[in-house]
């Protein structure tokens, strides 16, 4: 697989952040959370990626799965799309794509002549109005009942940004949450690595956070960052599993904090896990970012 070297793909490093941010600023859109530099960098130890600018396009390659992420930016033809696939395939790689937008697949039916097309249902992003998550009106009013239970039990709770030393509480609460969860979203070591990296590079990655304290006990937190196109991305969000309503409270507090900063909140994917899917659907997303995997026909 090292034969890809002639393409000069670069291992992802913290110093590359500005290239990605500038690219999305120049080509705004509703991208999957997987395109966020912060997401890519936080999980890079477990899911390594490489990248390059090729013919003015940002190419991101997932080394572990041997997929090219759909190149963001200006529209391009199927022939250009195939050319990139051929370029990778000629170096011994699959030439397969991931995170191909639903619209691109629908607008280009000829893709089926060259690829097997598979809906990436577990990797669809849930995107919500920040206003709706803050007010919890209409169909979301039942969430207020759980928040009210938390508030009755914790009448003097405090929600505020965490300082640098308090960020370590997030790592501890995540371990507690994972140990009490029968089916963690990722292997524990991967989650731990990603959160530790978030803490280590918190300032450099322009991450933001909120934490909930009650009687000096740490009950919940969220870590998030600006992505693009009036959207913030929630990277991590955990709560004390013994505190009923704590999750709904940090969810609402995060939306309240972000309401003046953005229009939408991307709360990432359900990974095909039924319980997580039910929880995300219960907040009634404003829209989903659906994507496909394209497997090259030989």
8-state DSSP, 298: -
What is the reported pLDDT for 6? 57
What is the reported pLDDT for 192? 79
Could you identify the residue written with the tokens 């990797």? 123
CA-based nearest residue to 267, from 169, 132, 92, 159: 132
What is the reported pLDDT for 187? 54
Q: How far apart are CA 219 and CA 266, in angstroms?
A: 23
Domain made up of 125-268: CATH architecture: 3-Layer(aba) Sandwich (3.40)
Q: How far apart are CA 264 and CA 230, in angstroms?
A: 6
Q: How far apart are CA 187 and CA 121, in angstroms?
A: 21
What is the reported pLDDT for 271? 84
Q: Classify burial at 94, counting beta carbons within 10 Å of its beta carbon; exposed 0-12, middle 13-18, buried 19 or more.
A: middle
Spell out a b/e string for 132-144, using b for 16 or more CB atoms within 10 Å of the CB, else e.
bbbbbeeebeebb
Question: What stretch(es) of the chain map to CATH 3.40.630.30?
Answer: 2-124+292-296, 125-268
Q: How far apart are CA 134 and CA 150, in angstroms?
A: 16
What is the reported pLDDT for 79? 95
The helices-and-strands tally (H runs, E runs) of the chain is 10, 14
Of how many residues is the chain composed? Answer: 298
**CATH classification of 2-124+292-296 is 3.30.565.10, yes or no?**
no
Strands 264-266 and 231-239: parallel
Q: How far apart are CA 240 and CA 221, in angstroms?
A: 9
Q: How far apart are CA 103 and CA 116, in angstroms?
A: 16
Work out whether the CA dihedral 100, 105, 110, 113 comes out positive or negative: positive
pLDDT beneath 50, residues of the chain: 1-5, 182
What is the reported pLDDT for 202? 96
């Amino acid at each position: 697989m090292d034969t890809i070297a002639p393409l000069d793909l670069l291992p992802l490093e913290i110093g590359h952040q500005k290239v990605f941010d500038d690219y999305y600023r120049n080509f705004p859109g509703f991208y999957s959370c997987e395109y966020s530099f912060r997401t890519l960098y936080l999980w890079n130890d477990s899911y390594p990626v490489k990248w390059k600018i090729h013919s003015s396009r940002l190419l991101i390659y997932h080394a572990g799965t041997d997929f090219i992420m759909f190149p963001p930016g200006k529209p391009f033809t199927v022939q250009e799309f195939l050319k990139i696939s051929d370029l990778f395939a000629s170096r011994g790689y699959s030439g397969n794509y991931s995170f191909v937008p639903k619209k691109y697949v629908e607008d280009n039916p000829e893709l089926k002549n060259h690829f097997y097309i598979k809906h990436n249902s577990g990797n669809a992003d849930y995107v919500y109005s920040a206003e709706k998550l803050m007010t919890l009106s209409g169909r979301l009013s039942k969430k207020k009942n759980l928040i009210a239970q938390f508030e009755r039990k914790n009448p003097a709770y405090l929600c505020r940004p965490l300082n640098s030393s308090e960020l370590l509480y997030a790592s501890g609460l995540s371990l507690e949450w994972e140990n009490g969860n029968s089916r963690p979203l990722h292997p524990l070591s991967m989650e731990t690595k990603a959160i530790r990296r978030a803490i280590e590079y918190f300032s450099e990655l322009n991450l933001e956070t909120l934490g909930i304290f009650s009687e000096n006990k740490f009950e919940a937190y969220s870590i998030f960052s600006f992505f693009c196109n009036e959207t913030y991305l929630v990277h991590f969000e955990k709560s004390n599993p013994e505190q009923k309503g704590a999750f709904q409270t940090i969810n609402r507090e995060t939306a309240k904090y972000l309401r003046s900063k953005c229009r939408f909140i991307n709360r990432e994917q359900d990974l095909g896990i039924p319980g997580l899917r039910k929880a995300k659907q219960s907040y009634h997303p404003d829209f989903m970012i659906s994507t496909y995997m394209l497997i090259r026909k030989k």
